[in-house]
Homo-oligomer: A and B are copies of this chain.
Amino acid sequence: MRSGPISRAELARATGLSKQTASEVVRDLEANGWIRERGQTQGLVGRSATTYELDAGRAYVLGVDLGGTKVHVALADLSGAIAAEEVDATDRRGGHHVIEQIAALTRSAAARAGADPRRIRYGAMGSPGVFQPGSGRIIIAPNIPDLDQIDVVKALRVSLGFGVAVENDVNLAAVGERWRGCCREAATFAFVALGTGIGMGLMADGKLIRGARGAAGEIAYLPLGGDPFDSRGYRLGTLENAIGSVAIMERYRGLGGQGAEDVRGVFDRLVDGDAAARTTMDEVARVLAQALMAIRAILDPELVVLGGSIGARPELVERVRALLNGFMAEPLRVEASPLGGRAALMGAVGTALSTLYDSVFGMTDLPGEQARTAGVETAA
């Protein structure tokens, strides 16, 4: 969908509705304040047309990315432009304290954007762990105490005053990449996050795949990179045991590597030409490439986006690409996440905006490109 000034007649042509109906729609939207007159067309043959534009400040949506260490909040206006962002360290007391923290950050973002908080209509929140739509709880959410004890959806609705959809953060990252990342043209793709943990968000034919119990994309459990029948290893996941951040450090130290405190450090040593770092990354890439081969064999995605603090590193992406290109007849397209750590946040905003659009315009398409430029510098 394109945005920007549009006339009644143009709208009719774009939507396929009759001129008459389009005109009624415009009248209606204007009466409700969703759009307003912008100007006139000029220079073309025929009568000049009155153009309309979205009243971007008429409504806002909230996106939340709740992590074990940080809470990230973004407010976007009706046009999809980010009006304000806030970050904070996640409240360690967990549970309701985190809910209250999100509410406070939202108020602060609204103030910074100069937006009436009552104009925020919908929200979406990404969180690690598996979300149970039935109970509204997030189960297996690590690092945040008591979050699995409360109905998060209900609590957020009470604290914020509007509905908030909850979704796995990696799934939202996939949504984000499709909205404003590198998957705008792709209907079927996978977002593989490699950071502290390993996860994947899947989109097939433009829809998120959640699986029967909401555990689709839990590729930590892929039987690759180790003995899948080792029941101790299975608890964390065979793949995670092989290329999770802990495993990477073990590999590095096992190869005699020194001078790196964490995975970021290993990447730093890689630049210095450290042999252990190189071998470590070669090994990790080799296992990761196998994971992508498995994803491809099962799902046939148009591309796979690598994200997360480790996955998005070009040193790793290059290695994986080289391995896959080496012998596949039609190599799998692999990209580093352009949105990086903001993918889930963008996905949350996009999801909330999509809900808003659906309720206002009766459509689900999101506005594209143009909205992307403004307002991001407001970010905390």
Mark A residues whose CB is within 8 Å of B: 186-189, 200, 202, 204-205, 207, 209-224, 228-229, 231, 234, 237, 239, 286, 290, 293-302, 323, 326-328
Contacts and interface: CB of A to CB of B under 8 A. Distances in A.
Given A221-B296, A222-B294, 18 more contacts: A187-B212, A188-B216, A200-B298, A204-B209, A205-B207, A209-B209, A210-B300, A211-B300, A212-B302, A216-B300, A217-B300, A218-B297, A222-B298, A223-B290, A223-B294, A224-B294, A229-B327, A294-B298
A188 B202 contact: no
Nearest to A235: B329
B217 A323 contact: no
A206 to B, nearest CB: 11
A229 B323 contact: yes
**Chain copies in the assembly?**
2
Contact of A293 (B207, B221, B326, B328): B221
6 contacts: A202-B298, A205-B207, A209-B209, A217-B298, A217-B300, A298-B298
A286 B301 CA distance: 27
Given A186-B212, A188-B212, A293-B222, A234 B298 contact: no
Contacts of A239: 297
Please name the 5 residue pairs, one residue from A and one from B, whose CB atoms are nearest each other, closest first: A211-B300, A231-B327, A212-B302, A221-B297, A215-B300
Contacts of A218: 297, 300
Nearest to A328: B234
A211 B290 contact: no
A301 B213 CA distance: 8
A205 B209 CA distance: 8
A186 B339 CA distance: 35
A220 B298 CA distance: 9
Contacts of A298: 200, 202, 216-217, 219, 222, 294-295, 298-299
A6 B291 CA distance: 52
Contacts of A328: 234
Contact of A301 (B211, B297, B302): B211
Contacts of A302: 212
Contacts of A209: 204-205, 209, 299
A222 to B, nearest CB: 5
Contacts of A202: 298-299
A162 to B, nearest CB: 27
A216 B299 contact: yes
Nearest to A209: B204
Contacts of A290: 223, 228
A24 B290 CA distance: 59
Contacts of A224: 223-224, 294
A361 to B, nearest CB: 25
A178 to B, nearest CB: 13
Contacts of A300: 210-218
A299 B211 contact: yes
A282 to B, nearest CB: 12
A294 B296 CA distance: 12
A41 B7 CA distance: 58
B301 A231 contact: no
A209 B216 CA distance: 14
